[in-house]
Amino acid sequence: MKAHVGTDLETGVVHSLVTTPANAADVTQVDGLLHGQETDVFADAGYQGAARWTRAKVRWHIAMRPGKRRALDTGTDKGRLIDELERVKSRIRAKGEHAFRVIKRQFGFTKVSYRGLAKNTAKLHTLFMLGNLWMLRKRPQLCGV
């Protein structure tokens, strides 16, 4: 199975979660990940073509496929500029990946426990909620405490 998450850029908090079988394409889940208040969306290469899958009016910043990036000629100004742009996108996307690190390292979730998507989805919802609390533990003003 795959877990697709939508996260807040400033806090890294997960606001939406969609799970799919492993053979489903990432780009088909775009509508389930957007909450409607976004202006910019940063995504990995699996979401190329996402603008065609949704009606959301946002600016898309989707990573270049790894093979195309390796093929860049960084000896030219244009190649260096494109490579630096990809680095910036990657640094921004890393904030969203932090939620996965929390549930793997803090809560030990590295493999699914159950058969079937429904039970594993319920467990992931719980883990990401706990992960949100973990990430906000030193920011009581954001937790409402």
Angle 3-92-100 from CA coordinates, rounded to 5°: 30
Ranges assigned E (strand) in the chain: 2-7, 14-20, 40-43, 59-62
Q: What pLDDT score does 96 carry?
A: 86
pLDDT digits (tens, 9 = 90+) for 36-57: 888 899 999 989 988 888 888 8
Token pair of 102 as six digits: 């929390």
CA Rg value for the chain: 17
Q: What pLDDT score does 52 carry?
A: 86
Q: What pLDDT score does 138 carry?
A: 82
pTM above 0.85, yes or no: no
Q: What pLDDT score does 142 carry?
A: 63
| Residue pair 126/102 in contact by the 8 Å Cβ criterion | no
- The segments of the chain whose pLDDT lies below 70 read 142-145
Q: What pLDDT score does 80 carry?
A: 93
Q: What pLDDT score does 120 carry?
A: 93
